[in-house]
Amino acid sequence: MSRLGKNPVAIPAGVEVSFTDGVMTVKGSKGTLTQPMRDDVVVTIADGEVKLDPANDSKEANALWGTYAALTRNLITGVTDGFEKKLEIEGVGYRAEVAGNKLVLNVGYSHPVELELPEGLSAAVEKNVITISGIDKEVVGQFAANIRKVRPPEPYKGKGIRYQGEYIIRKQGKKAV
């Protein structure tokens, strides 16, 4: 039994949820999101809440039940509040800037690294903190992971790009004899 799937998902005021032809559409103040869903989960929208149930007793239907419940919560949160990821840049001379719809990173390579902002995302840079925000949790998280992949934090000096609050276990360097 899915603990996430058992609880119905409340629909806040100002949000419209519809389910047609295997596609859930959620409209809110920040935009519209869609999520295709498989036939293993039955979706019922009534009384200001979305109720999900497995279509049969298969192991796959039970797994998808909780997954689609979590995705539905993310869709509703995205169109009401949005999502945000913060990354910190640490290193001498490391910096970032937003130029149009590109994020330009100078992180120790011989050339600046330019990353195109995906549709629907916005980026802001303040000192050494990059803030990525948007309504789709998956796109925000994937773009933040792509930024971190440009220069992951290294364990000796801690230089690189890390998520805010991420703890890097430091290693001791070589010892002099």
Strand-pair partners of 33: 26
The b-or-e profile of 40-69 (16+ CB within 10 A means b, else e) is: bbebebeeeebbbebeeeeeebbebbbbbb
Q: The domain that contains 40 carries what CATH number?
A: 3.90.930.12
Nearest to 167, CA basis, from 158, 175, 176: 158
Question: What is the tens place of the pLDDT at every residue in 73-117?
Answer: 999 999 999 999 999 999 999 999 999 999 999 999 999 999 999
Give the total number of structural domains in the chain: 2
Which of residues 25, 50, 80 is at a domain's end? 80
Question: What is the tens place of the pLDDT at every residue in 31-41?
Answer: 999 999 999 99
Enclosing domain of residue 135: 83-163
Residue 169 forms part of a structural domain: no
Tell whether the model's pLDDT for residue 23 goes beyond 90. yes
* Region 136-161 average pLDDT: 95
pLDDT for position 1 = 62
Max Cα distance, the chain (Å): 74
Mean pLDDT of the chain: 93
Do 50 and 103 reside in the same domain of the chain? no
Determine which helix (DSSP H) or strand (DSSP E) holds 72, and give its type and residue range.
helix 59-80
Query: What span, in angstroms and rounded, lies between the C-alpha atoms of 46 and 68?
Result: 17
Which of residues 38, 59, 80 is at a domain's end? 80
Do 67 and 102 reside in the same domain of the chain? no
Query: What span, in angstroms and rounded, lies between the C-alpha atoms of 164 and 84?
Result: 11
Do 96 and 70 reside in the same domain of the chain? no
* Amino acid present at 98: V
Which of residues 43, 61, 80 is at a domain's end? 80
Residue 170 forms part of a structural domain: no
Residue 14 forms part of a structural domain: yes
Q: What is the pTM of this model?
A: 0.90
Residue 107 forms part of a structural domain: yes
Nearest to 137, CA basis, from 148, 121, 123: 121
Residue 176 forms part of a structural domain: no
When computed from its CA atoms, the radius of gyration of the chain, rounded to whole angstroms, is: 21
pLDDT for position 37 = 93
